[in-house]
Structure 1
Amino acid sequence: MSNYRRSTVPGGTWFFTLTLADRRSRLLVEEIALLRQAYGQTLQARPFRTLAICILPDHLHAIWTLPEGDADYSGRWSLLKSTFSRHFPASFRTASKTRKREKGLWQRRFWEHQIRDATDLQRHVDYVHFNPVKHGLVNSVANWPHSSYHRYVEKGLLSQDWAGSNTAIGSFGE
C-alpha cells in the first residue's frame, strides 16, 4: 500500500482538486444545492476560510486556509464528501471500496498543493477562476455561475471582463 505524504502545516493555505469517480458525470452542478449544503455543514463543523472555489460538473477546485494550530484538511474533505454522498445510492464498488464503506461516487484521494507565497496564491486563484473556460464550458469566466470569481468582482478585486477568452493562464496539476 502506498504511503501518501501530505503537508501538515497548521494554519496553512492549500489548493485542492477533488474529482468524481465518473469523469463524465455532471453531478456536482446538477446537485449544486446539495453540494453547497454539505460544504456549509462541513464549514460549520470544522471551520476554515475559502479563498477561492470553482465547482465544475465532475470536479472542483478550492483554496482553503485553516485555523491556527489546525492542519486537518483531509478530515474536512472526508466529511464534505461523505455528507454529499449520503444523498445518492452506491455505484459499482470494488471489494476495497465496500470494506471502507465508500459509495464509489468520488475518486478516493484528492490533489493538494501547499501555497508557498503571494505569487503562488495569485496563480492558483487565477487557475481556479479560469478553469470553466479551460474546460470549454463557457467562453468567459463571468458566464460560469459556480465560482468565487463573482465574489472577487463584487469586492473590486477582479474586473467583470477578466480573462474573457479561452487563453491559457498557467498550467497546474489537475
Structure 2
Amino acid sequence: MQKLAALESGKYYHIYTRGNNTETLFKHLDNYHLFLQLYRKYLMPYADTFAYCLLPNHVHFLIRIKDEDALMRQGGEDFMKRISVERQLAHLLNSYTKTINHRYERVGKLFQHRFGRKEVTSEAYFTRLIYYIHFNPQHHGLIDDFSDWPHSSYHSLLSKSKTALQREEVLEWFGSRDWYKKFHEENAADFASINPLIEDDEL
C-alpha cells in the first residue's frame, strides 16, 4: 500500500474515500447522520471543515488541519501528547464500519482504503474544489440538480442557522452569499480547470 503523506498543521486538504468494491456506505437516511456525528466527534476538534458531500458510495471533505496547539492534549502528569489526525480519521472509519456491520449483520471491511488526501495549494484550487464537492451528486448522475442533494454542505453554507462549518470564511472567500451561489450556478459541469487535480478521485 502506498504510504500517504502526513497531514500537516495549517495546511488545506481534499480528503476522500469510498466503499469497498464501490459498496453502498449509506443504506438509509440515518446512516448519513451517523457518519456526520462520528465526523464531528473524531475530526472536528482537530480540523476546520469548509465543505463536504456524502454520496451513497463515497465521501468528500475540504479541511484545514488546526495549529499545533490545538493538536496537543495531556498525555500524562508531565507531558503533552500530539494528536494524530490520521489516527482520528481511522477511528472515524472503524467506528462507522463497526456500527454498520452490527446494524445490518454484515462482516468485513466497508471502506476500500483509508482517506486519500491531496493538499490544496492554490486559491483557484480551493475555490473550484468547493464547487466540485457540492456538484458531485449531479456529476455522477445521482440527481438532476446538485442543489437538491440533501447530504452536502451547499445549503448549510447559504443558511444563517448555527453550523460547525467555516461558513463565514467560505462566504468571505467568494465575496458574499450571492456570489457563492452564482459561482456554483454559472460553473455547472465545468471541471476543466480542476480535472488534473482530481482525476484519481473519480469513481
Q: CA deviation at 1:164?
A: 7.9
2:153 partner amino acid: S
Query: Is the CA contact 2:47–2:65 (under 8 Å) kept in the aligned structure 1?
Result: yes
Residue pair 1:54, 1:148 contacting (<8 A) in 2 also: yes
Given that residues 28 and 57 in structure 1 are in contact (C-alpha distance below 8 angstroms), is that contact kept between their aligned partners in structure 2? Answer: yes
Using structure 2 for the length normalisation, give the TM-score.
0.69
3-state SS of 2:52 partner:
strand
Aligned position for 2:184: 162
Change (3 A) 1:164 1:134: farther
C-alpha distance 166-125 of structure 1, shift in aligned 2 (>3 A)? closer
Distance 2:138 2:87 in 1: 30
Quickly say closer, same or farther: Cα 1:73–1:6, change in 2 above 3 A: same
Query: 1:117-154, CA deviations, whole angstroms, 9 ceiling, x for partnerless residues?
Result: 21111121111111011011111121101111112323
- Residue 28 of structure 1 contacts residue 35 of structure 1 at CA under 8 Å; is this kept in 2? no
How far does residue 24 in structure 1 lie from its aligned partner after superposition? 4.1
Gaps of 5+ in 2: 72-82, 160-170, 172-176
**Equivalent pairs, count:** 162
Runs of 4+ deviating beyond 6 Å: none
Between Structure 1 and Structure 2, whose CA radius of gyration is higher? 2
* Distance in 2 between residues matched to 1:41 and 1:114, nearest whole Å: 23
> Shift of residue 7 of structure 1?
4.2
Task: Please name the residue that 2:78 is paired with.
Answer: none
- CA-atom RMSD in angstroms: 2.7
Q: How many percent of aligned residue pairs carry the same amino acid?
A: 20
Whole-Å separation in 2 of the counterparts to 1:28 and 1:47: 28
User: Is contact 2:43–2:89 with CA below 8 Å preserved after alignment?
Assistant: no
Query: Which structure features the higher share of helix residues?
Result: 2
TM-score (norm 1): 0.79
Matches within 5 A, 1:96-107: 103-107=108-112
Q: 2: distance between equivalents of 1:130 and 1:144?
A: 9
Gaps of 5+ in 1: 93-102
Q: What amino acid sits opposite 2:33 in the alignment?
A: A
